[in-house]
Chain A
Amino acid sequence: MQYTEIMVRYGELSTKGKNRREFIGRLNGNVTKALHGFDQLRIHPKQDRMHIVLNGDDGKAVMGRLHEVFGIENYSPTVKVAKNMDAVHDMTTKIMADIAGDEPKTFKIETRRSDHHFELDTNQMNLDLGDWVLDHFPNLTVKMKHPDITLRVEVRRDGIYLMNQKIKGAGGLPVGTAGKGMLMLSGGIDSPVAGYLAMKRGIDIEMVHFFSPPYTSDNALNKAKELTAKLAPYVGKITFIQVPFTEIQEQVKHDVPEGYLMTVQRRFMLQLTDKIRVMRHGLAIINGEAVGQVASQTLESMVAINDVTTTPIIRPVVTMDKTEIIQHAKDIDTYDLSIMPFEDCCTIFAPPAPKTHPRLDRARYYEDRMDDVDGLIQRSLDGIKISEIKSTDHFLNTDQDVIAELL
């Protein structure tokens, strides 16, 4: 079947009243980015739907990209025909022949008419096409509720549009409509999932990744970048901010008693992230914490760490079970990467017995006792590197193409 356009239906957008213009504009931008490289198609964002006229571009490939754009509730591949019943009958036969098969099946016709001057009204159209299908496909019968096949017909000013599928989109809100947040990306399973879920609610994320060479390897850094590339298709590209953390970690290790190493380290991370957030004009911080998984994630621990900022910290996976998070990670294809065994800066210097119930006052006390905290933070900030990561970028196994050539 040669589709002529893809019709996109907005998700929660429709309910957003006066913000609607902004939402549609943003979605239009995101779809345009996602469909970069298709030269022929034209995108027409309308009040209630978006029409992507293919002009010969590959409909399947286009739908594959649309599938990763948040803010799309569902979409339908569509064929446009001239405004006469012969053309409609002809195309109806073609579409149904593609999907009817030989088994007994049920169907219905669902007509929508925005051009009220067309010779047939909605009911007449339903009847006419229903009869046509019954006459030509003896294995089909009519059923109004939950039919196997629904043929949608839209009579518009410029033509008649036929479609038989409604494909579920990614849902959520267009990325960017909720403002920008900084994702604390470690390299584990949880933080990429948190990033995905934040994007799904319209948040534009930038990655903040701490690395501590030589305690952490280039591989650990590249793994974080590769994870970022995995999340990039939803937005086109993602800003990746790498923050040197070696000096702070060494200093904390030297100055702070073992039980509070982790807590104080994380307070530094959060402070740094918050400062970067201000520089980058972000509104919130996102991380992959879930309640009660490890020492750093008890409520006491959250209190002791969260203490350094009043910026909203969004924890999308906070109440999920590990198995749920893993399922999400597999769905978005970050799991296999996340479990690659490179030490990240959360695992080095991890004390054998961190305090699972750290006290806020003790955490503050140990941090205050350290020399030159401001200098440590400033030197770290001076060393950050910012890059843009696209979905096509590769960081692990960069010789992939060279090797492929050899094989």
Chain B
Amino acid sequence: MIYFDNSATTKAAPAVLDTYQKVSENFFGNPSSLHAVGEHANNVLQQSRQQIADLLHVDSDEIYFTSGGTEGDNWVVKGTAIEKREFGKHIITSSIEHPAILNSMKQLEALGYEVTYLPVDSRGFVSAQDVKDAIRSDTILVSVMAVNNEIGSMQPIDAIADVLKDYPSIHFHVDAVQGIGKGIETTIFNPRVDFATFSGHKFHAPRGIGFIYAKRGKHLAPLMTGGGQENNMRSGTENVPAIAGMAKALRLLLTDEDQKVANEQAIRKAIFDHVSHFPKVTMFSQLTPDFAPHILCFAIAGVRGETIVHAFEKYDIYMSTTSACSSKDGTESNTLASMHVPDGIATSAVRVSLDENNTMAEAEKFNQAFDQIYQRFEKINS
């Protein structure tokens, strides 16, 4: 099997599952319990938090565990809206954010908040100047993703951070779900970034766990209220085994990160160089340094993305139409639409997304399969 759908989810690493199981067996207590069993579980929780903070060079009290990327995005957007409603009701985001952001914005609009959706250029990039122009005196939040999940464009977080230096009271959130482990941690943790969202299952941790970074001194209203876990910011009994697994997965992810990024880049280039020569192929991802190393989005004109996915499936190669979250309902890609890609081509788009375990040999097999699939489509499509 060749698994090229790592932006949808990754396979949990055996070492991570081992941790998950051992923690489940040996540290099963509730971290809030006063007795020793609870104490042991709490030790795992805090040590995991510390390890994640150390790996990202932040403080442990700046890490809050969540159920994943969607919760993190919801929390920062709505938590800011609630926390700062006295100061304003205007939010700036991009038109190519993940639905977890965009649909949170929709909900807020229904409640009377105003949202500016910034356009992107034809390559899929927001401009920092647009952010600057959109800022109003009642702007409370700017939320822009680090890496677009459909085409891999890396948004100009550092430039936006520079713009926002003059507006210290605006919360700046970076959805970093697709960005972690891709060699851009210094950008994600730009000193002006106040919040960042992460999801465990995108880097070989179990499903249902994630975390947000929230800079010390920046306040969010909690969405989950209850027993006061996570420093009263996110109630609910902590998922200790998954948290420990995620701490381990993050350590593994960031070990030899440069080498892994280089490997993904090489594989992506091998596929890009091969498929981009075919006349009916349109590349939406570029090989330039402003694209993430692991995502390659392209279309074969005249064939639906869905059909391409299934065709590759016959070769035991698994990829996706642009984003797994919206792929089932067959709607066109949000990102490509925002880039003004014509509907006819956007519906033909597919996404290859890599992880550190993919190999050059897999790229070669992919390219061979591509040749055969392309030829076949030529017959029905000429």
Contacts and interface: CB of A to CB of B under 8 A. Distances in A.
Nearest to B241: A406
A400 B47 CA distance: 8
A213 to B, nearest CB: 13
Contact of A407 (B19, B34, B36, B40): B19
A397 interface: yes
B43 A407 contact: no
Contacts of A217: 34
Contacts of A219: 39
A399 B43 contact: yes
Contacts of A406: 19, 22-23, 44, 244, 248
Contacts of A400: 43, 47
A407 B39 contact: no
A11 B148 CA distance: 62
B247 interface: yes
Interface string B21-58: 01100010000001010011001101110010000000
Query: Which DSSP category, helix, strand, loop or mixed, fits chain A's interface?
Result: helix
A399 B40 contact: yes
A128 B19 CA distance: 66
Contact of B247 (A397, A399, A407): A407
A403 B43 contact: yes
Contact of A403 (B39, B47, B251): B47
A179 B248 CA distance: 49
A404 interface: yes
Nearest to A406: B19
Interface string B227-265: 000000000000000001001100100000000000000
Contacts of B48: 403, 407
Contacts of A218: 36
Contacts of B247: 407
A218 B47 CA distance: 20
Nearest to B34: A217
Nearest to B18: A406
Contacts of A404: 47
Interface in A362-407: 397, 399-400, 403-404, 406-407
Contacts of B27: 403
A399 B46 CA distance: 12
Contacts of A397: 43, 46-47
Nearest to A404: B47
Contacts of B19: 406-407
Contact size range, A: 10 to 19
A344 to B, nearest CB: 16
A218 B40 CA distance: 13
A217 to B, nearest CB: 8
A336 B23 CA distance: 27
A217 B38 CA distance: 14
Most buried by B among A217, A219, A399: A399
A284 B47 CA distance: 40
Nearest to A219: B39
Contacts of A407: 19, 47-48, 51, 244, 247-248, 251
Contacts of B23: 406
A20 B47 CA distance: 48
A406 B48 CA distance: 10
A51 to B, nearest CB: 39
Contacts of B22: 406
Nearest to B23: A406
Contacts of B44: 399, 403, 406
A171 B313 CA distance: 73
A407 B34 CA distance: 24
Contacts of B248: 406-407
B242 to A, nearest CB: 13
A406 B21 CA distance: 10
Most buried by B among A218, A219, A407: A407
Most buried by B among A217, A399, A406: A406
A389 B27 CA distance: 28
Contacts of B40: 399
B183 to A, nearest CB: 23
A348 to B, nearest CB: 15
Contacts of B51: 407
A16 to B, nearest CB: 45
A251 to B, nearest CB: 27
Interface string B8-27: 00000000000100110001
A397 B47 CA distance: 10
A339 to B, nearest CB: 14
Most buried by A among B27, B34, B43, B46: B43
A225 B27 CA distance: 24
B136 to A, nearest CB: 42
A34 to B, nearest CB: 28
B292 to A, nearest CB: 27
Most buried by B among A219, A397, A404: A397
Contacts of B34: 217
A397 B27 CA distance: 13
B219 to A, nearest CB: 22
Interface in A163-218: 217-218
B72 to A, nearest CB: 21
A217 B248 CA distance: 32
Contacts of B43: 397, 399-400, 403
A403 B40 CA distance: 9
A220 B120 CA distance: 58
A262 B47 CA distance: 38
Nearest to B251: A407
Contacts of B36: 218
Interface in A213-252: 217-219
Nearest to A397: B43
A111 B22 CA distance: 64
A218 B36 CA distance: 9
Contacts of B251: 407
A218 B35 CA distance: 10
A397 B50 CA distance: 14
Given A219-B39, A399-B44, A400-B47, 10 more contacts: A217-B34, A397-B47, A399-B40, A403-B27, A403-B244, A406-B19, A406-B23, A406-B244, A407-B48, A407-B247
Interface of A: 217-219, 397, 399-400, 403-404, 406-407
21 contacts: A217-B34, A218-B36, A219-B39, A397-B43, A399-B40, A400-B43, A400-B47, A403-B43, A403-B48, A403-B244, A404-B47, A406-B19, A406-B22, A406-B23, A406-B248, A407-B19, A407-B47, A407-B51, A407-B244, A407-B247, A407-B251
Counting from the closest, the 5 A-B pairs by CB-CB distance are A397-B43, A406-B19, A403-B47, A407-B247, A407-B248
Interface of B: 19, 22-23, 27, 34, 36, 39-40, 43-44, 46-48, 51, 244, 247-248, 251
